[in-house]
Structure 1
Amino acid sequence: MTSDIKRLEERVRKAKQRLCLNNGARADELLEGALACFAEERLDDVTVPLIAKRLNVAHSLIYYYFKNAEVFFQSSVLHALDRMVSRYGDIMRDNANGANLLAAYLDLSVDMGDTLRSLTRIMFSNACGAKSSGSAFVDSFIDEYYQFEEQTLSACIRAGVSEGFFVCDDPDAMGAFISRHIDGIFVSSFMSHGVPIADAMQYLKKMICEILHYKGDLNSPLYYEIAGRRSAGGKGLKKDA
């Protein structure tokens, strides 16, 4: 799985570098500004002048680094994917077992909430509208990212089963189930009645523990917050006998 991360990370970074006229920290700052706008505004309302105004720069500076608005927006998606894949690589190196890695993966989705909100808004808008050849180029990386995510989640579950933490007959189906629910959490965050991302992700953890018949200890990153609520008087999960 580590080799898959490195391969995807390398492909995304090379594509991002090809699109940028002048690579460097300043270009990344502009892309971060674009992602912040995508997280807060409707996609159709995000323009180069708006991003430039938010960053307090001349919009001509953006065109110094990117050929046109379409390339700038494509690059912002690749920048978001680059950040996500890089962080996923870090947590995979830092977590020893499947249950802890799954918990870290879900926690990272909260930590990288603004980045994922931007990606979700762009993907949702693309799915509902006409696609150009330019968006198809970026969509190929998004599709690969989702395949990577499902494979990573499935691998976490499969490892958890072999380690005795989980019970699951079909880790691939469960990985796809979790991936779709992560998407749902971010889509609902754009709605006025949506649940806060952190709260929704914690509930997803609870649901995963129940479905997978989690058998870990109360100090596990996948379980401790739920157990803490239970000891404080909340319902929490019932410990397996």
Structure 2
Amino acid sequence: MLKKLTEEKLSELLETGIAEFAEKGLDGANVNTIAKKAGISVGVLYKYYENKEEFFHACLRKSLDILKSVLNEVTQSNDKLLVRAERMIRAVQDYSKEYGVYIKMYNRIASENGRKYVSMYAAEIESMTARVYTEFIERAIKDGDIRNDINPRLFAFFFDNLLTMLQFSYCCDYYTERARVYCKEDFDNDEMIVSELLKFIESAFTFSRSEIVHRDQM
């Protein structure tokens, strides 16, 4: 009879899987290696998950549940948009430091090696942030907090691109080196990153076309 795993052991198994998938991708990860690192048999793993793809999906759901919790804590407030934007940037910094391996797993899915899984997982990964960011921009427009001549869905996409790239820059080797090419030692200054990114966002969200002086010089 196979031993039933405790909730703590199941969580450890998923974390082990996330680390393996982050390093090697879905195709390259080995279930035997994951089970061994987690201190269980392959038979026990397959008692809970039918195959590697189902186990990977469970790892993905675990990481998304934590991300959802982080986003909900930041966005469910009545603060002005830029206040919430600052909280989001800081949350990204904290999340990247604590859950960097999750971000590496997302990056693996987005890479060429994970191409055949993109259609399967992109909607699940992105739909949550797309909804959260779009709603938060729509509410800011309604409250008169930001310019009203923007498309909330497109601006949510642009905003998410900024935060996604920031996450990758903290956790994924190529993007970390890329950030250092641009930012030099300033990349190590979390407060400067927050301050300068907020300036960028403020310009995008608060200046209407008629207020941009240099347009008359084009």
Identify whether the pair has TM-score above 0.5, normalized to the shorter chain: yes
Structure 1 residue 193 and structure 2 residue 177: aligned?
yes
Please, what TM-score do these two structures have when normalized by structure 1?
A: 0.61
Cα offset for 1:25? 3.7
8 Å contact from structure 1 (residues 37, 46) kept in 2: yes
Identity of aligned residues (%): 20
Could you tell me how far apart the structure 1 residues matched to 2:93 and 2:36 are? 28
Q: Which residue of 1 aligns with 2:214?
A: none
Alignment RMSD (CA, Å):
3.4
Could you tell me how far apart the structure 2 residues matched to 1:197 and 1:119 are? 23
Matching of residues 11-160 of structure 1 within 5 Å: 24-39=7-22, 41-43=23-25, 44-93=27-76, 95-99=77-81, 100-113=83-96, 114=100, 115-125=102-112, 128=115, 130-131=116-117, 138-139=120-121, 142-160=122-140
8 Å contact from structure 2 (residues 141, 148) kept in 1: yes
Which secondary structure state, in structure 1, belongs to the residue aligned with residue 178 of structure 2? coil
Cα offset for 1:175? 1.0
Could you tell me how far apart the structure 2 residues matched to 1:197 and 1:62 are? 40
Change (3 A) 1:154 1:98: farther
Change (3 A) 1:163 1:107: same
How many residues get paired?
185
Change (3 A) 1:54 1:98: farther
Which secondary structure state, in structure 1, belongs to the residue aligned with residue 177 of structure 2? coil
**What are the superposed Cα offsets for residues 175-210 of structure 1, whole Å, 9 maximum, x if unpaired?**
111112333334553416233698596354332122
Given candidates 147, 150, 162, the residue that maps to 1:181 is 162
Change (3 A) 1:150 1:106: farther
Please, what TM-score do these two structures have when normalized by structure 2?
A: 0.66
**Consecutive unaligned residues in structure 1, runs of 5 or more:** 1-20, 215-241
8 Å contact from structure 1 (residues 103, 205) kept in 2: yes
8 Å contact from structure 1 (residues 154, 175) kept in 2: yes
Given candidates 193, 196, 200, the residue that maps to 1:207 is 200
Cα offset for 1:162? 4.4
* Larger-Rg structure: 2
Change (3 A) 1:204 1:55: farther
Could you tell me how far apart the structure 1 residues matched to 2:10 and 2:189 are? 30
